[in-house]
Chain A
Amino acid sequence: MDIWNLVIIQPFTNVLLFIYTLVGHNFGIAVILFTCLIRLITHPLMVQQIKGAKAMQDLQKDKRYIEMQKKYKDDKEKLAQEQMKLYQELHISPFASCLPTLIQFPIIIGLYQSVVLALASTPVELVNLTRHVYPWLLKVADLIPLNSHFLWMDLGAPERLNLPFLSFGIPVLAIVVVISTYMQSKMMTPASSGNPGDQSAMIGNMMNIYMPFLMGYLAWTLASGLSLYFVVSNLIGIGQYAMLGQLNWKNILPGSKKAVEKSKA
């Protein structure tokens, strides 16, 4: 077994299946609880990410930062050097806000692979699952066959809600993933500095548009167990930001945004 399997896939799969046995063999509930657990474990990373992002925002309002942007606008190398000096002086790490996000990505991949592994749909996949199960924690005979049905979904396959009067299935979960990802990214985006040349705001806006569709595409094409993870993860993420007092409701309530802009004017 390779290191990725040993360190990520095997523990993830066993925890997921252990939760599954605890909740009366309901894989949907197991995925939801497992997601809560993952978000709880990665909560310190999220706090670090928020702090890092806040520090970077404050930096962009710093006089010295604004001045050096103007002063060295034609000398990118010098600008980078000066920025690094300022980072060191203010004890800011430019990676502090991005690193936690990067760390979460292998977790998403690991969770997806664990869901697919647990929902073995061919004999060879079942052999593989058997090999990953900790015999001291779980009994294969009690686990198989895994109940992959949750509400109207088969969590091992892409989700579609089939209605009798429609000739095609509606990808409900993919739509919910798009909406919740959009809401999450908008609510977590800090208020714009108002500077039309604010590049980070532009990138943020771009991410806010592309990410929901990207996640929606994944939810549309991959096993719905992963889509369920996306939705629950998004909702918990919003909840975590709310608890930390970082939610920016103005970004999704256009009326209140205009009111703020007016009051600024």
Chain B
Amino acid sequence: MKSFSIKILLLFVLGSVLLSACSGGVLSTSWPGVTVGKDLVYLSYQGYVMSVKVSDGSLGWKYPADKAAAKPFYAAPALAASELVVGDYGTTLYALDPATGNQKWVYDKGKGRWVATPLIVGNVILAPSADANLYAFDQNGQPLWTFKTQQMIWAQPVSDGTLVYQAGMDHKLYALKLADGSQVWATDLGGAIISSPTLDQNGVLYVGTLASEMLAIDSKTGKIIWRHSSPGTIWSSPLVVGSTLYFGDFTGKAIALSTKDGSPVWAIDMAGPVIASPTAFNAGLIYVMETGDVQAVTLDGKKSWSHKINGKLYSTPAVVGDRLIVPETSGDKLLVALDTNGNEVWSFVMPK
């Protein structure tokens, strides 16, 4: 009886340890973020921010250099001439030297996690936080203004140089003055928005929602011009090429709409859910799927080459010259570089 009771007690302890081990607060996961530089791509994932040489996929630098100081990073860094700004999954925002990875300043007074990629407009750094605030900083990390929304912000803002457009999980798209953060307009889009709006040359914003809609909004007034229902939820920013809007959805549809009125141009089935934005590459489009498939599609909706990667593809690929850099999640590599025919040129694995 005694030994049986001890076994029960041990079982509880073991179970508790297992329960601790699966703590969401500590071991949350997300996908890697990638930003393109001149000859480098900047990658933030797991404990580090890294620079990777585009020519051969070798590591440039890693921040922090010390493994003990590693913190979870998921938001892609924002790049300006002299600064690389990235927030961690804690509450700290870092500015690094893009050439060396040396830390320039930190802002640690945030109250939420940094899930979204910051945006740098001139001398202003715009950093959306999961604490529901959009923070504006100068280039030395001094706060300029803060704008509070009603829910977490996971989307990178966009700007035309005068106004800032910020989409929120609170279903709203906000237009704010870049100079002081004052609100110009706010429009309820009917669903949570986790991706950045796309602003075209005519001043129209296009944004997808988790209510399975793609919407076009007048950036001056916030008025909805048109809305299009898609079969599945939309997780990423659309791509505008000419007068056509391209995006994918969770049901695995790749969709093209007319920017004029949202009328369908074409829709094709992909191998799996499309979470990332399509990428313009070699006069066509690249769609990546959760299933690990990289699919090249012509602008008129015809599939061309494809490439299979052993991992989940959630992040939007980056293009540097004739290289397509594909970030992967939960696979054996972090980045895979493909040429214009979909052949693997190099891959980058997490340095030990």
A, B co-complexed: yes
A218, CB-defined interface residue at 8 Å: yes
Query: A123 to B33, alpha carbons, bound, how many Å?
Result: 12
Q: Which of A13-21, A105-113, A239-247 lies at the binding interface?
A: A105-113
Q: Assign chain A's interface to a size class.
A: 35 or more
A193, CB-defined interface residue at 8 Å: no
Q: Shortest distance in angstroms between B46's beta carbon and chain A's nearest beta carbon?
A: 12
Of all chain B residues, the one with the shortest Cβ separation from A199 is B2
Of all chain A residues, the one with the shortest Cβ separation from B192 is A144
Of all chain B residues, the one with the shortest Cβ separation from A226 is B19
B30, CB-defined interface residue at 8 Å: yes
Q: Are A116 and B9 in contact (CB under 8 A)?
A: no
Q: Are A124 and B30 in contact (CB under 8 A)?
A: yes
B28 neighbours in A (Cβ, 8 Å):
121-122, 125
Query: A222 to B19, alpha carbons, bound, how many Å?
Result: 9
A125 neighbours in B (Cβ, 8 Å):
24, 28-30
Query: A222 to B27, alpha carbons, bound, how many Å?
Result: 11
Give a binary string over B7-26; 1 marks a CB under 8 Å from any A CB, 0 the rest.
01101110110111011110
Q: Assign chain B's interface to a size class.
A: 35 or more
Q: Which of A32-40, A43-51, A200-208, A250-258 lies at the binding interface?
A: A200-208
Give a binary string over A140-153; 1 marks a CB under 8 Å from any B CB, 0 the rest.
11001100000000
Q: Are B210 and A127 in contact (CB under 8 A)?
A: no
Query: A158 to B152, alpha carbons, bound, how many Å?
Result: 18
Number of A-B contacts (CB under 8 A): 116
Q: Shortest distance in angstroms between B31's beta carbon and chain A's nearest beta carbon?
A: 6
B169 neighbours in A (Cβ, 8 Å):
144-145
Q: Shortest distance in angstroms between A64's beta carbon and chain B's nearest beta carbon?
A: 16
Give a binary string over A47-75; 1 marks a CB under 8 Å from any B CB, 0 the rest.
00000000010000000000000000000
A210 neighbours in B (Cβ, 8 Å):
9
Residue of A105, A122, A141, A203 near B29 (CB, 8 A) is A122
Query: A218 to B235, alpha carbons, bound, how many Å?
Result: 34
Query: A135 to B6, alpha carbons, bound, how many Å?
Result: 44
Q: Shortest distance in angstroms between A260's beta carbon and chain B's nearest beta carbon?
A: 25
Q: Are A123 and B13 in contact (CB under 8 A)?
A: no
A141 neighbours in B (Cβ, 8 Å):
190-192, 209-212, 233
Q: Are B24 and A145 in contact (CB under 8 A)?
A: no
Nearest 9 CB-CB pairings of A with B: A141-B211, A116-B24, A122-B30, A203-B5, A145-B169, A144-B192, A124-B30, A199-B2, A141-B191
Q: Measuring CB to CB, which residues of chain B are less than 8 angstroms from any residue of chain A?
A: 1-2, 4-6, 8-9, 11-13, 15-16, 18-20, 22-25, 28-31, 74, 89, 113, 115, 130, 151-152, 154, 169-170, 190-192, 194, 209-212, 233, 235, 250, 273, 275, 290, 314, 329
12 contacts between A and B (CB under 8 A): A102-B8, A113-B22, A123-B314, A124-B29, A125-B30, A127-B290, A157-B25, A204-B5, A210-B9, A214-B16, A217-B16, A222-B20
